[in-house]
Amino acid sequence: MSPGLDGIIQGRPVVVGTTVVVATENNSLYGLSLRNGRILWGPRHIGPPVTLAVIAALAPSSAGCGDLDPLGITGSPAVDPATGRVFAVADVATRPGRPPVHELVGVDAATGAVAVGPTPIDPPAMLHPELEQQRAGLVVANGNVYVGFGGLYGDCGEYNGFVVAAKEDGSGIAGYFEDANALPGNRQGGIWGPGPLAVDSFGNVYAATGNADNSPPDPATDDSQAVVRLGPTPSFALDYFQPVTFRAENASDEDLGSTPPLLVGDGQIFQIGKQRDGYLLNAASLGGADHHTPLASIDNLCLAIGANAVAGSSVFVACQGGVQEVRIDRSGPTPQLRHGWTASVPAGGPVVVGAGSVWSVDTADGVLDGFNPTTGHVVAHYAVALDSSQHFPTPTVAGQLIVVEAANHVDAFALPTLRAPRTR
């Protein structure tokens, strides 16, 4: 266990060599020793975080919204392995009466030296940055850091979803995509699933969006409740998949984008969200000719929030009642999605695969569980002291340890020794 830091940790720990880099809601970055948890450097403080009281004063319609207070660094940081720099986005308060600003910062993982920024990255179309929450995990690719934005818990006020490509050298914004802006009054469509956006080998970026308000009438679309493909320098959706049920899901707040798109091999993407149906998509033609037709689907699987993981032909889904396996059957002329195992314990946090196991946190009971990927049997069970605000704790496997954020510190556990299967 590390010492207590200066704020709650909401993002996934990033391990670079023997250093664990974490960020707090107090807008601070720390480097911790992977070996014993001691503080190697930090805090690197980016600026004052933003309180819900400040947000409500700027936008009275948001009073009572939001489930994090204060808002600092929320989205999981990301590392560029070529440089060893770790990037984070901080929500920084400015002078009284003025909106906050989202700033990109990059630090050297080994020393904590600030190498990039802090650089403002709010695009010109972001009219109410106080209502934009940066919860989606960051991803580094194409010389950019890709950043997803959604709204506060409660979907309050005038906000739109955004994907911003912030230049990795800190020189500004390369481009951005704005969701749910097809006509005046069209809004929301947040891009907030806690995992990172997906980037394919061609540099295309994939984002999943949430529910929108005041969508345009058929046949127009606003890219809400959709999986969109963006170019390396995003400006508009190059292609999209949008279920035919998207208008009903808009009305009932059933975000397709409560998990990010997952690249599953063979040029395919898996997507599921609050709307409970899982979809297998062709990345080259996301929804087919009509933008509504997936390659395969599995109906009423579960309510999924967080992030999913893949190993081989198995997708492990962050179902709120407990992790479920979905198997991709590619043996026939068209692929099929089939039910696999369901976890016997209610670990429903973001899912990761590592060290031969599937990992997820049961946030209600404060337990990190490991599962056999073939059978779903529990192979590890560790108590984690979470803060009540930590809805999406995400573990990281590093060497012989698994580390996870827990309130204002990081917990580390020895990986279980897995027995090899018996042979006859």
**309: which residues sit within 8 A by CB, 6+ positions away?**
262, 315, 316, 351, 352, 353, 358
Indicate whether this model's pTM tops 0.85. yes
Residue labelled with tokens 């002329």: 333
Give the DSSP letter string of 380-407: EEEE----TT-S----EEETTEEEEEET
Q: What is the mean pLDDT of residues 406-419?
A: 87
Flag whether pLDDT at 14 surpasses 50: yes
What are 321-335's pLDDT values in tens digits?
999 999 999 999 999
Residue 339 sits in the same domain as residue 282 = no
Q: Is 290 left (phi over 0), alpha (psi -120 to 50) or beta?
A: alpha
At residue 340, does pLDDT exceed 80? yes
| 377 has a pLDDT exceeding 90 | yes
Query: Domain of 259?
Result: 179-300
Q: What is the pLDDT of residues 233-269, one digit of tens each?
A: 999 999 999 999 999 999 999 999 999 999 999 999 9
Chain CA centroid to CA 151, Å: 14
What is the pLDDT at residue 419? 54
Is the domain of 423 the same as that of 310?
A: yes
Last residue of a domain, one of 284, 300, 316: 300
Q: How confident is the model at residue 113 (pLDDT cuts 50, 70, 90)?
A: very high
- Number of structural domains the chain divides into: 3
CATH code at 14? 2.40.10.480
Residues 348 and 404 in one domain: yes
Instruction: Let me know whether 279 and 308 are in one domain.
Output: no
Q: How confident is the model at residue 10 (pLDDT cuts 50, 70, 90)?
A: very high
Q: What pLDDT is attached to residue 62?
A: 87
Q: Which of 99, 133, 167 is the last residue of a domain?
A: 133
Same-domain pairing of 323 and 255: no
Residues 61 and 10 in one domain: yes
Amino acid at 35: R
pLDDT band at 149 (very low <50, low <70, confident <90, very high): very high
Mean pLDDT of the residues in the chain: 95
Which band of pLDDT confidence, cut at 50, 70 and 90, is reported for residue 423? very low
Asked if 1 and 47 sit in the same domain, the reply is: yes
- pLDDT tens string 157-194: 889 999 999 999 999 999 999 999 999 989 999 999 99
User: 7 lies in a domain?
Assistant: yes
247 to 132, 182, 223: CA distances (angstroms) = 23, 15, 11
Indicate whether 168 belongs to any domain: no
Residues 281/284/290/296 CA torsion (nearest 10 deg): -20
Q: What is the dihedral of CA 289, 293, 295, 296, to 10 degrees?
A: -170
Q: According to the model, what pLDDT value does residue 157 have?
A: 86
Asked if residue 172 belongs to a domain, the reply is no
Same domain, 248 and 230: yes
Query: Quick one: 312 and 296 in the same domain?
Result: no
pLDDT on residue 420: 46
Residue 422 reports pLDDT greater than 80: no
Q: What percent of the chain has pLDDT over 70?
A: 98
Q: Using alpha carbons, select from 122, 102, 86, 105 the residue that is nearest to residue 50.
A: 102
Please indicate, yes or no, if residue 202 is contained in any of the structural domains: yes
**pLDDT level of residue 61 (50, 70, 90 thresholds):** confident
170 inside domain = no
Looking at the structure, do residues 7 and 127 belong to the same domain, yes or no? yes
**What pLDDT band is residue 418 in, cutting at 50, 70 and 90?**
low
If asked whether residues 9 and 127 sit together in one domain, one would say yes
State the average pLDDT over residues 280-292.
96
Q: Which of 248, 204, 202 is closest to 225 using CA atoms? A: 248
Final residue of a domain: which of 98, 133, 168?
133
Instruction: Confirm whether 141 is domain-assigned.
Output: no
> Higher model confidence: residue 420 or residue 148?
148
pLDDT tens for 200-230 read 999 999 999 999 998 998 888 999 999 999 9
Is 155 inside any structural domain? no
Q: Are residues 184 and 286 in the same domain?
A: yes
- 156 located within any domain: no
What CATH number corresponds to the domain at position 325?
2.40.128.630
CATH at 205: 2.40.128
